[in-house]
Amino acid sequence: MSPPDDTELEALLREGLKRPPLRDGGFTAQVLGALPRRRPFRHYRLLVGLGWAGAASGLSVALWAGCSGSGEASAASLISNAWLGFALVATLMSCLGAWYAIDSASRA
């Protein structure tokens, strides 16, 4: 008997080593169940702190800007005050930052 040549041997190997795919049988579900939970957002406490500090500062500046005007200052003149506008924006942004941090932490 002569040994098979290279092409025949390769065909034999392809045919002989062929196996049907293994059935999943719950393997994928098991892997997905074992995946580590999303890493908690590490700096959320810092962000919440900064957010509330920013909000408090903004409100303080707003109050200071409001109180330092003349007694008969109208609401319109208060809003037109640049300091007050800036303080309100800072307050809003800080509140949003704090909310985002809390939300991220609760979903993690």
Partner 1 sequence: MTPADSELIAHCLRNDDTDAFGELVQRHQSAVRRFLRHLARGDGALADDLAQETFIQAHRGLLRFRPDSRFETWLLGIAHNQFRNSRRRRRGEAALSEMNPEETALPSSERLSDLQMDLASAMNRLSADEQLSLMLSFQMGLSHSEIAAVLERPLGTVKIHISRGKERLRQILSPWNPRT
Residue numbers at the binding site for partner 1 (CB under 8 A): 1-4, 6, 8-10, 12-19, 21-22, 24, 27-28, 30-32, 34-36, 38
Pick the closer one to partner 1 by CB: 27 or 64: 27
Pick the closer one to partner 1 by CB: 21 or 71: 21
Contacts of 38 (CB under 8 A, 6+ apart): 107, 108
Residue 51 CB burial class (10 angstroms; 0-12, 13-18, ≥19): buried
Pick the closer one to partner 1 by CB: 17 or 82: 17
CB of 18 to partner 1, least distance (A): 7
What's the Cα-to-Cα distance from 73 to each of 80, 81, 107, rounded to whole Å? Answer: 11, 11, 46
